[in-house]
Amino acid sequence: MKLAPYLLALSLTASAAAAAEPPGFESRLDGLADSWAHVNYEVRDTAARATEAERLAGQAEALARQYPNRAEPLVWEAIAQATEAGAKGGLGGLALAKSARGLLQKAEKINPAALGDGSVYTTLGSLYAQVPGFPIGFGDPAKARTYLSKALAANPGGIDPNYFQGDFLLRQGDAAGAVKVLDRALAAPPRPGREVADRGRRAEATALLAKARQKLKS
């Protein structure tokens, strides 16, 4: 089978990039993903979760300093900070959410497709959806909708983009729309190596779907 010229160029570029990949870089990213899943879904104590999320953010920051031209460590640092923000709440949590937004905006400029699953857009959208709006915070439903739509365009069958779109729609009072995308989230294919994250997100999607369906009945 012959490759079209542009596909051949893309293939060669990808091969060159893979050859130039820093030794252990991908395994360290996998380690960040595994650690986050443990912190977010298996650490039950809120204070302990905040502490572990802060430690994880520090590890991601160190990797980002080592590889300043890579977006992936910035995304994981932002995700860890957002998790810490959720655990802490209050003004401290808001400051962390702002920091996470800044990291994601930086990552977006480097490579908006980092991690290959729409994570940059998903996380930005979820922050704009969940953080309080002006004058307290930077929450903005219009920006949330834009980023979450980009996330779905990048990864239409993914569990995370559909879950956060469902969460957003339910917050906006669109229970029917939420049910549709949450059903899609629960139908998402498993992610190899992400079993803990998948199990935790499916549990969240199941609970949110029940809430959306209850809204439709009321």
Q: How far is CA 167 from CA 25, 77, 210, in A?
A: 33, 22, 12
Summarised one tens digit per residue, pLDDT across range 16-63 is 333 345 669 999 999 999 999 999 999 999 999 999 999 999 999 999
Nearest partner of 65 among 50, 80, 77, judged by Cα = 77
Summarised one tens digit per residue, pLDDT across range 131-166 is 999 999 999 999 999 999 999 999 999 999 999 999
Q: What is the pTM for the complete model shown? A: 0.88
The domain 26-144: what is its CATH number? 1.25.40
Domain boundaries, the chain: 26-144, 156-218
Cα of 148 vs its chain's centroid, Å: 10
Return the SS3 of 113: coil
The neighbouring-strand residues paired with 139 are: 133
Distance CA 77, CA 197 (A): 17
Q: What's the count of helices (H) and strands (E) in the chain, helices before strands?
A: 10, 0
- Provide the mean pLDDT of the chain: 91
State the chain's maximal CA–CA distance in angstroms: 58
Q: Which two tokens stand for residue 42?
A: 């298996």
The single-letter code of the amino acid at 27 is S
Distance CA 131, CA 104 (A): 15
pLDDT at 4 over 60: no
Contact 159, 188 (CB under 8 A): yes
Summarised one tens digit per residue, pLDDT across range 175-210 is 999 999 999 999 999 999 999 999 999 999 999 999
